[in-house]
Amino acid sequence: MDYIKYLNMENAEIPPDIVTALAAPGANTPLVFEEKNKLLSVPELQKETGFVKMENGNYLISMCVEMPGVTADMANWWFWWHPLEADRYKLWYPGEHFDISYAKKDAPYFQQKKMPEFRQNTQYPVERIGGLKMPLSISFVTPEEFGYDKTLMEENNVATIICGHVGALKGRIQHTEMSHIFFQREDGLFMVSRFWMGKRAKNPLVRKAMLTDASAKGMAEHCYVEYTNFARKVPGLYKEYLKEVAR
């Protein structure tokens, strides 16, 4: 598959309303991780963008992205397919995504010709967020394992949820809980994202370094561009993939 046209596509620009929201932090609902199921059923929460500093010093980053033409199958496929090659990860956010790999134990999951059923896995992306290049570790888990209520998901047209525990240095440092909720819409999906930055961070030096307004803003900006790019590129990539496996 030729990735050149996707690598050459311009990155999405952050719209004025989100720029304004990021310039005035603290206006969002400080939803604690333990109450995340409210995201499934409260429309007002689903529309929030920006970040807020919590009472315990952690940050909650909120973002939402319209994804016309994107399906749940495409979203689930992407997180299985792209870790196999660095170029696939790079084309997602050219200039800010550098490399990706996965845990050795997960090789049988990723190295199949066709996408298998989801199983928990760990990926090691390297990307730049807020100007800082970061070697991350993300352990992806099922929504139920993460704590989302399956019945609420079904009742509120949740097509899929991509979620996991975020750290660094192959998991030796843990710091953030992440979830991307994809709601089904008539013309595609609507993604509602939350990052509970600092929720898993215990080391005081790590907390001091990462828990800043600048880091939270950088995460919010990265999320918007990354997933708007996703909405523009993944449908075409998925169609090309299906043609390849059908040969």
What pLDDT, in 10s, does the model give residues 18-72?
A: 999 999 888 899 999 999 999 999 999 999 999 999 999 999 999 999 999 999 9
**What's the average model confidence in pLDDT over 218-232?**
98
What is the residue-averaged pLDDT of the chain?
96
The pLDDT value recorded for residue 1 is 83
The pLDDT value recorded for residue 43 is 96
pTM check: above 0.85: yes
Neighbours of 218 (CB within 10 A): 19
Give the distance from CA 120 to its chain's centroid: 16
Q: Please tell me whether residue 21 adopts helix, strand or coil conformation.
A: helix
Q: CA 81 → CA 74, 102, 112, distances in Å?
A: 10, 12, 10
The pLDDT value recorded for residue 210 is 92
Q: List pLDDT tens digits, range 5-14.
A: 999 999 999 9
What's the full length of the chain, in residues? 247
Q: List pLDDT tens digits, range 135-162.
A: 999 999 999 999 999 999 999 999 999 9
Domain containing 215 equals 4-246
Domain total of the chain:
1
Asked if pLDDT for residue 247 goes beyond 90, the answer is no
The pLDDT value recorded for residue 172 is 87
Confidence bin at 113 (pLDDT 50/70/90): confident
**What's the average model confidence in pLDDT over 193-203?**
95
Confidence bin at 169 (pLDDT 50/70/90): confident
* Domain harbouring 217, CATH code: 3.30.530.20
Confidence bin at 170 (pLDDT 50/70/90): confident
Asked if pLDDT for residue 123 goes beyond 90, the answer is yes
The pLDDT value recorded for residue 245 is 86
The pLDDT value recorded for residue 246 is 82
**What's the average model confidence in pLDDT over 182-202?**
97
Q: Which H helix or E strand runs over 154?
A: helix 150-155
